[in-house]
Amino acid sequence: MATYDVFFYEAFDEERFLLEKFLNSQIKAGFAPETIQETGHSSPPAPVISTRTQSHIPEEWAVQLRAILSRSTGYNHLLDYQETTAFKGQLGYLPLYCNRAVAEQAMLLWMSLLRKLPLQMERFNSFSRSGLTGLENAGKTLLVVGVGNIGREVVRIGQGLDMKVLGVDLVKKFEDTDYVSINQGIKQADVIVAAMNLTKQNRGYFNYALLKQAPRGTIFVNVARGELSPIDDLYRLMKEEHLGGLALDVYEQESKLGVLLRSGECNGNDPLLKKIRELQKMPNVIFTPHNAFNSAEAVERKAEHSVKQLKHLFEMGRFLWPVPAE
């Protein structure tokens, strides 16, 4: 018999505190800061589990689980699990909690690269300004690829900074967004922000051939999913000095990478990790630990929306925000 009604994996301290704040006494919840694979759980501790994006849900759990809630705006990993296992339960996600937080992180990253902030910080030690001349946002072309809930906020921020903002999306749902094709937009971009959902069709979307069409010196920022932008291709573009800057908050094989980095067992022979480490040494590269969502405001909304999802599931038998079918 399961010990809990719901078990939360990948719940860091601040998040757990807020989840407990919104949960009522009728819902018995357990928590772990680790991924499922790091806890070593051999069976689900609850009929409903909640993860973020780095947990691998064991295939044999599929017939034991009633529902899975991903505390993320992306849901491709849930669809993959549903398609490759016997899971027949409910799938839920959180589409609305962190739009502004992720968009502001994207802005933080591209502005830091435009103004050479990592190099500025390093040069403080010698108080030298040689080679530190950066660029302003006004008049630059910002290409937002994926104008959904997050991409829409990126567009608004870019417009507020007096940038020329172009959007790429299959669905053109915002009237004040200047939509173009990727082939039109990529050739004009000073800054590219990846904000699109990951699907089977767009894996590897930002590959070498596409980004090579961007003007030399273009800055590329990915706050969506790591599988959209293969590290091998980004590495090649940076070594060729075609990209002027690279900022990632998401990574290929992120679940493996996260476990390696947290454990300190950083195998220097792992090809992905090796390229990550080499890129890290470059002054025009910024890596953050899938942390774009992590504002105090968004984390509170995340906890509130997670509990709202669970209460709806327990009362109505389905999630308020179910994962859309592709």
pLDDT at 255: 87
Q: Domain ranges in the chain?
A: 6-97+296-316, 99-287
| Residue with the two structure tokens 């030298």 | 128
Of 293, 224, 233, 295, nearest in space to 254 by CA: 224
* Higher local confidence (pLDDT), 326 or 270: 270
pTM: 0.93
Using CA atoms, how far apart are residues 211 and 124, in angstroms rounded to an integer? Answer: 33
Report, as an integer, the average pLDDT of 202-222. 98
pLDDT surpasses 80 at 122: yes
**Percentage above 90 pLDDT, the chain:** 92
With contact defined as beta carbons under 8 Å apart, do 135 and 129 qualify?
Answer: no
Contact partners, residue 121, CB within 8 Å, separation at least 6: none
Shortest CA distance to 186 belongs to which of 225, 221, 143, 216?
A: 143
CATH number at 6-97+296-316? 3.40.50.720
Q: Within a 13 Å sphere around the CA of 274, how many CA atoms are in the beta-carbon half?
A: 6
Over residues 134-192, the pLDDT tens digits come to 999 999 999 999 999 999 999 999 999 999 999 999 999 999 999 999 999 999 999 99
Residue 26: its pLDDT value, please? 85
Interaxial angle between packed helices 271-280 and 231-239, expressed in degrees from 0 to 180 and rounded to the nearest 10: 40
pLDDT single digits (tens) 107-119: 999 999 999 999 9
Q: Give residue 1's pLDDT.
A: 47
**Average pLDDT for 292-304:** 95
* Cα→Cα distances 120→58, 77, 85, 130, 231, Å: 46, 38, 50, 10, 26
**Residue 265 pLDDT > 70:** no
Domain 99-287 has CATH 3.40.50.720: yes
Are 6-97+296-316 and 99-287 in the same CATH fold? Answer: yes
| Other CB atoms within 10 A of residue 236 CB | 16
